[in-house]
Structure 1
Amino acid sequence: MGLEIKDAPEETFEKIDGERRVEVVEELKGINLSENDEKTTKIGTTMRPSTEEHLIQLLKKNTEVFAWTMTDLHEISPDVITHKLNVNPNAKPVKQKKRMFGAQRSQAIKEELNGKWCLCIDFTDLNKACPKDHFPLPQIDILVDSTSGCEMLSFLEVYQGYNQILLAPKDDKKKKKASFVTDQGVFCFNVMPFGLKNAGATYQRLVNHMFQNQIGRNMEVYIDDILVKSAKEQDHIKDLEECFQILTTFSMKLNPAKCTFGVRGGRFLGYMISERGIEANPEKINAIMDMSPSKLIREFQKLVGRLAALNRFISRSADKGLPFFKILRGRAKFE
């Protein structure tokens, strides 16, 4: 398989349709979880002092749920889940050429990656040979609706979540089909890499199993993004503790740099959620307001797509959008 190294900010894989999946918009502060100044995470600044004190105590007591480097990870037990490639036996293997990289990028491949570079394997041909796993992802509208009205939230993200799931041990021959070429040789994954066709379905199947008694009650999970929600602030420490216990049981690790604890609201899966309810994402509104007039059909399609993302906030959106749809279907003149 081809291998790509790309410059990318930390939020590269925090996006849905080009937007960040999770972002907290209120003021935050960092806290040290140990004597090591590098082991930090972020908490909100609007909670009661007693809640903050108990939250910090809880975080320091449960540092084992975090991973600061890849060496801190422990794979999920294969008795719980593994990822099976399920390659079509009639599909023929495809050999790709080794891609060329500059000295800096070649060194980045050789060394352990630190998050400033994103390692991406081009699995296009392998994915074509794998039947789709139709395990459903959560419906975003339903998930977001269930979070509104909560006094306190914590946004958690798993550290290299896909890499915490092993490839099925019985698939040793199939693992070679997911191999990639570098200047240092040919390698294949022992864990589930990013970019496989059915990786998201496997991961969602895992978290649905892990948090089956919490989802809908005090948690929501969308792939590797975890939201702990509490109707009352005083219940949030207990809800977080319950989440941490499950993470510890399954040896799943969080990314402390991407976690935010004890906030009143934030941007989640494209919507603004808070105790007040659900609000339109200002970025989506500004994206429409900032568009320049154009007669290009491509720009018009982009406008329709952006309006569709705000459907739930526009009364009679179907009626108001009918002229646009007529143009796209060629039933009206575009001027």
Structure 2
Amino acid sequence: MREEVMKKILKLLSLGIIYSIPDREWVSPVHMVPKKSGIQVITNDRNELVPTTLVTGWRMCIDYRKLNAATRKDHFPLPFIDQMLERLARKQYFCFLDGYSGYFQIYVDPEDQAKTTFTCPFGTYAYKRMPFGLCNAPWHFSKMRDEHFFRPSRGVHRDLHGRLHRIW
């Protein structure tokens, strides 16, 4: 398991997503959980077919429960599936955009990076990009997605930190 943690840490460091940080007030533990992908059917000792999930790797999860309990919750409306499907009805062309590692595309404000601190056997680190597990992450991601894809692309826009950006 230590090797898996080391691999994940080295990858995040090389991508510039995390950085080493001294011990902070908000430090959360790391847990490794199996990454499940697909179903495998096996035969049990009574010769019955039993579906089981297929473990294809490990996911590094950070337990942000203490931080989430102290966090003021944002309330950006998440879309309802029926509304999304209604928008697609009777359209001729469709496009699929995959937000690859979507949360990692969003920077954490430098003032708040220390709050994302986590510890593992190899040190203490903080995120420069938004990690999974923060209670407001889904709302921030949805808000950013809506601002970039559902509003006019030209003009002046504000990011989540209130900074103005001019897009031409």
SS in 1 for 2:95: strand
Aligned with residue 78 of structure 2, among 137, 140, 145: 137
Cα distance in 1, alignment partners of residues 97 and 57 from structure 2: 20
Task: Name the aligned partner's letter for residue 135 of structure 2.
Answer: K
SS in 1 for 2:114: helix
Q: Equivalent residues in 2 for 1:57-206 (5 A)?
A: 116-169=57-110, 171=111, 174-206=112-144
- Show CA shifts across 1:165-201 (max 9, x none): 11102x1xx4223211111111111111011010111
Task: Name the aligned partner's letter for residue 109 of structure 2.
Answer: A
Cα distance in 2, alignment partners of residues 179 and 165 from structure 1: 17
SS in 2 for 1:116: strand
Segments of 5+ residues of structure 1 without an aligned counterpart are 12-114, 215-248, 250-335
Q: Higher strand proportion, which one?
A: 2
Match of 2:35 in 1: 8
Runs of 4+ in 1 over 6 A off after TM superposition: none
Identity %: 32
User: How many corresponding residue pairs?
Assistant: 109
Cα distance in 1, alignment partners of residues 32 and 124 from structure 2: 16
Match of 2:19 in 1: none
Cα distance in 1, alignment partners of residues 123 and 137 from structure 2: 25
CA RMSD of aligned residues (A): 2.2
Is residue 108–residue 130 contact of structure 2 (8 Å, CA) maintained in 1? yes
- Show CA shifts across 1:188-228 (max 9, x none): 111110110101111111111111247xxxxxxxxxxxxxx
Is residue 29–residue 120 contact of structure 2 (8 Å, CA) maintained in 1? no
Task: Name the aligned partner's letter for residue 197 of structure 1.
Answer: C
- Show CA shifts across 1:55-79 (max 9, x none): xxxxxxxxxxxxxxxxxxxxxxxxx
Name which one, 1 or 2, has greater alpha-carbon Rg.
Answer: 1
Shift of 1:127: 0.3
| 2:147 is aligned with 1:212 | no
Segments of 5+ residues of structure 2 without an aligned counterpart are 1-27, 39-55, 153-166
Cα distance in 2, alignment partners of residues 142 and 203 from structure 1: 18
- Show CA shifts across 1:60-104 (max 9, x none): xxxxxxxxxxxxxxxxxxxxxxxxxxxxxxxxxxxxxxxxxxxxx
Shift of 1:125: 0.7
Cα distance in 2, alignment partners of residues 190 and 211 from structure 1: 24
- Show CA shifts across 1:129-148 (max 9, x none): 00110111122211111112
Task: Name the aligned partner's letter for residue 100 of structure 2.
Answer: Y
Q: Equivalent residues in 2 for 1:257-268 (5 A)?
A: none
Cα distance in 2, alignment partners of residues 128 and 212 from structure 1: 32
Shift of 1:10: 5.5
